[in-house]
Amino acid sequence: MSRLLPSLRGIPRTIVLGAVLTVFAIGATFLLDPYRNFQLATVAAYFCATAGLTLLIGRSGQLSLGHAALMAAGGYGYALTANAMTDAGVTGIPRFLAGMLAAVVVSAALGWLLGLAAARLRGPYLAGVTLTLVIAVPAVASVFSGVLRGDQGVQIAYDGVPPVLERLIAVEQWQAWVAILVAGVVVTALAVFARGPVGLRMRAVRDDETAARLNGVRSGRVKVTAFTVSSVAAGAGGAVLCFATQSVSPGAYTLAFSLLLVVAVVLGGLGSIGGAALGSALIVLLPWLLAAGTAALPLPVELAQRLSGNLSILVFGVLLIGVMLVRPGGLVSLRRRRPSRSSGTATAAAPAEQPATTASPPAAAAAGARHP
Amino acid sequence: MDRLLFLFATGLARGAIFALFALSLVLIWRAARIVNFAQGAMALVATYAAFAVTGVTGSYWAGLAAGLVAGAAIGLGVERGLMRFTPHSSPLSGVIVAIGLVMVLQSLLGILFGAQYRPMRAPFDDSPIMVGGVPLLSPYDLFVLGVALAVMAVLALLFTRTSLGLQLRASAFAPEVSRVLGVRVGRMVTIGWMLSAAVAALAAMLLVPTELGLNPHATDMLFVYAFAVAVVGGLDSPVGALLGGLVVGLAMTLVTGYLGATVAPIGVLVLLVGVLLVRPGGIFSLREARSA
């Protein structure tokens, strides 16, 4: 992509790229039928979460298995605020913006708290705590069932197409537009963040925390920031998903879904935002394709029932193991040139990174922060 | 008061199972420096094997033995076939591969056996014995406690009194030096995995008869509890796993008994975060790891 617009560099380039891709995606909704547009909206919502997760795992080295819980936090924040606004007589875009704001605030608060714990923990401990968090989601929903409505979840009022566009597009397409717009803003902001000074410190802490601290990087603060930013992205994703499906319930944010987000990120390539987009599309489309495939086969009813759901998990599990063992760089590493041998094995073993960021001058400082 | 005593006694029995499972996590951690997130799923496969053997032979004991053998075999297979090839560049790859394994095993069990609960019976009465008018442990609880204590004693003897135990400990603490001194470190890691998987299978087989039954997700919560135990006790310390198991078992039984089963996961979360914020290495960990 560096061949396009070589005169643009750095953050303006990221923003222009994000805007162009968002416009392209919105244009693409005209080519799709309503169901595909709904799937596109889902992919965009997942993309928010996976882009945040890929930065967290790939760039700061913190493995979260609980991003579904953070999405749920955003979804509940959005739904409760939207309902309150509906009761107050506010509708349309102000209601949506207030809901998004609440989603961001709620998920940021939860992410900050988790980040405080995470900053003191190493890999497997953090993974276990976040795993417990996502398992606790149904329990939280039923303990506070007065507000969160237990297993049923919270339903919100239907958001129709604005009157200006009513004659032009269907409601699914409108939802896809909103989802793509939010994903565009969130992911572009994440990309800018990852290129900036905090992104650099994140990578320094990931590669060698001791060396980073000796160089004056406050590793705890960097980890908390990374976790908070990542959970804001996840919360925005949850809010968009709530907007598109008009409901949020614990059944939608299970451990299986949380692991699926990790699968998306690993398959796409850890640390790569483009990879997160590919992975999000994969976790939406592959189960759907597999379900369509098994439905076409003349299988006994009981077997078909057992295959539904399980087959896609099986395929994702095999893919996850295969990618980790054979190509830890994920899908995005397939089309990339192999790194030059002269830099030694350290760079080859490190998680995938955007070529643009490794080439940027500040990364040299991060490399200096590593142990020889 | 009667209820408290009853919950206390039940908590002891459940804590023994948690401690056993946590011990299996500690065994792998000490042998290979991996927190095996697939431990629950691996134990579940062994439990299904035990269930099948019991169904064919009609004997609980044959099933138990088959489950132990199956557990060890799965440990062998996973270590030799999968974990050995996991890149060691980052501690996260082991966790991610283990998660992939969980997905594969659970979905395979779901495809092969379906999602319904299959009740598992133990040849013991599970109604509590009355002591002075107070219901306390059931015969099955006593059996569980006895087995757990016996296994822990055997493991302690194995690790402290035998040549194999010495080699296992040596290759866990100083693999390079042990290799120079003639210990076959690779084999020791494999043995560690087999031991650990067999102990985990035993814990799962003891737990399932007290729950709804066998299901592809029957050990999810067991893993979470055992992880909490291992964290409370410190992943390095077998004694910590035992004490942590009793603490978590009692705490969770009390929470479930007084506040309801739905609150239990929140209780674990609070416990985990609390312990990790105060002592990141676990309450009973041997030493603080220095980083700078």
Residue closest to A199 by CA, chosen among A14, A6, A3: A14
Is the Cβ of A344 closer than 8 Å to some Cβ of chain B?
A: no
Q: Is pLDDT of A234 > 50?
A: yes
Is the Cβ of A63 closer than 8 Å to some Cβ of chain B?
A: yes
What's the rounded Cα separation, in Å, for the pair B30 and B173? 8
Residue B101, judged by CB atoms within 10 A of its CB (0-12, 13-18, 19+), counts as: buried
Specify the higher pLDDT residue, A261 or A329: A261
Cβ B224–A132 below 8 Å, yes or no? yes
* Rounded to 5°, angle at Cα A237 from A124 and A354: 65
Cβ B276–A131 below 8 Å, yes or no? no
- pLDDT interval class at A43 (50, 70, 90): very high
Cβ-based contacts of B266 with chain A (< 8 Å): 136, 139-140, 143
pLDDT number for residue A52: 94
- How many Å is the Cα radius of gyration of chain B? 19
Q: Is pLDDT of B218 > 50?
A: yes
E strand or H helix that includes residue B31: helix B2-32
Residue type, A90: V
pLDDT number for residue A80: 93
- pLDDT interval class at B283 (50, 70, 90): low
pLDDT number for residue A166: 77
Start-end of H helices in chain A: 10-28, 34-54, 60, 67-87, 92-118, 123-135, 137-143, 145-148, 171-195, 197-207, 209-214, 219-245, 255-268, 273-296, 301-326, 345-349, 355-359, 362-369
Q: Rounded mean pLDDT of A68-97? A: 91
Specify the higher pLDDT residue, B125 or B197: B197
Is residue A271 within 8 A of residue A50, CB to CB? The reply is no
Q: Could you say which of A63, A125, A128 has the minimum Cβ distance to residue B92?
A: A63
This prediction's pTM: 0.86
DSSP B62: H
pLDDT number for residue B286: 52
CB atoms within 10 A of CB A222: 24
% of chain A exceeding 90 in pLDDT: 37
pLDDT number for residue A2: 54
For A125, name the nearest residue in chain B, comparing CA atoms only.
B231
Shortest Cα distance from A186 to chain B (angstroms)?
Answer: 26
pLDDT number for residue A46: 95
CB atoms within 10 A of CB A92: 12
E strand or H helix that includes residue B134: strand B134-135
pLDDT number for residue A372: 35
Cβ-based contacts of B108 with chain A (< 8 Å): 310, 314
Lowest-confidence segment of A297-311, A329-343, B28-42, B207-221 by average pLDDT:
A329-343
- CA atoms lying within 13 Å on the CB side of residue A131: 22
What's the rounded Cα separation, in Å, for the pair A35 and A41? 10
If you average pLDDT over every residue of chain B, what do you get?
A: 85
- Collapse the DSSP code of B135 into the 3-class scheme (helix H, G, I; strand E, B; otherwise coil) and give the result: strand
Structure tokens at B97: 């591969």
Q: Is pLDDT of A342 > 70?
A: no
Q: Is pLDDT of B73 > 50?
A: yes
Task: Note the residue count of chain A.
Answer: 372
Cβ-based contacts of B91 with chain A (< 8 Å): 122-124
Cβ B100–A321 below 8 Å, yes or no? yes
Residue given tokens 């997130």 in the structure block: B37
Lowest-confidence segment of A113-117, A123-127, A313-317, B59-63 by average pLDDT:
A123-127
* Rounded to 5°, angle at Cα B137 from B136 and B142: 155
Q: Is pLDDT of A240 > 70?
A: yes
If you average pLDDT over every residue of chain A, what do you get?
A: 83
Q: Could you say which of B35, B107, B276 has the minimum Cβ distance to residue A313?
A: B107
DSSP B128: P
Q: Could you say which of A127, A132, A321 has the minimum Cβ distance to residue B101?
A: A321
- pLDDT interval class at A328 (50, 70, 90): confident
Q: B242 Cβ partners below 8 Å, 6+ apart?
A: B19, B23, B152, B233
End-to-end Cα spacing for chain B? 50
- pLDDT interval class at B129 (50, 70, 90): confident
Q: Rounded mean pLDDT of B157-183? A: 88
Shortest Cα distance from A253 to chain B (angstroms)?
Answer: 15
Q: Is pLDDT of B59 > 80?
A: yes
pLDDT number for residue A338: 53
Category of B58 on φ-ψ map: left (φ > 0), alpha (ψ -120 to 50) or beta: left
- pLDDT interval class at B284 (50, 70, 90): low
Is residue B115 within 8 A of residue B216, CB to CB? The reply is yes
Q: Rounded mean pLDDT of B219-232? A: 86
pLDDT tens per residue across span B76-126: 999 998 888 887 777 788 889 999 999 999 999 999 888 888 888 777 777
pLDDT number for residue B104: 94
Q: Rounded mean pLDDT of A94-117? A: 91
What's the rounded Cα separation, in Å, for the pair B12 and B20? 12
Q: Rounded mean pLDDT of A143-159? A: 83
pLDDT number for residue B86: 84
Q: Rounded mean pLDDT of B160-172? A: 89
Is the Cβ of B261 closer than 8 Å to some Cβ of chain A?
A: no
Residue closest to A22 by CA, chosen among A277, A261, A254, A247: A277
- Residue from B25, B83, B84, B99 to probe the interface with A (highest A Cβ count within 10 Å): B99
Cβ-based contacts of A319 with chain B (< 8 Å): 100
- Collapse the DSSP code of A47 into the 3-class scheme (helix H, G, I; strand E, B; otherwise coil) and give the result: helix
Specify the higher pLDDT residue, B279 or A98: A98
Q: Could you say which of A117, A263, A266 has the minimum Cβ distance to residue B273?
A: A117
- Residue from B269, B271, B290 to probe the interface with A (highest A Cβ count within 10 Å): B269
Cβ A321–B97 below 8 Å, yes or no? yes
What's the rounded Cα separation, in Å, for the pair A76 and A82? 10
pLDDT number for residue B201: 95
Q: Rounded mean pLDDT of A37-53? A: 93
Is the Cβ of A299 closer than 8 Å to some Cβ of chain B?
A: no
Residue closest to B202 by CA, chosen among B37, B42, B56: B42
Is the Cβ of B127 closer than 8 Å to some Cβ of chain A?
A: no
- Residue from B85, B92, B221 to probe the interface with A (highest A Cβ count within 10 Å): B92
Shortest Cα distance from A19 to chain B (angstroms)?
Answer: 33
Q: Is pLDDT of A352 > 50?
A: no
Residue type, B80: R
Structure tokens at B47: 């439990």
The CATH code belonging to domain A11-334+345-369 is: 1.10.3470
| Window 105-124 of B, Cβ < 8 Å to A | 106-108, 110-112, 114-115
pLDDT number for residue B287: 52
pLDDT tens per residue across span A269-325: 888 999 999 999 999 999 999 988 888 888 888 888 888 888 999 999 999 999 988
Cβ B269–A214 below 8 Å, yes or no? no
Q: Rounded mean pLDDT of A54-80? A: 92
pLDDT tens per residue across span B230-280: 878 877 778 888 888 888 888 888 888 888 878 888 888 888 888 877 776
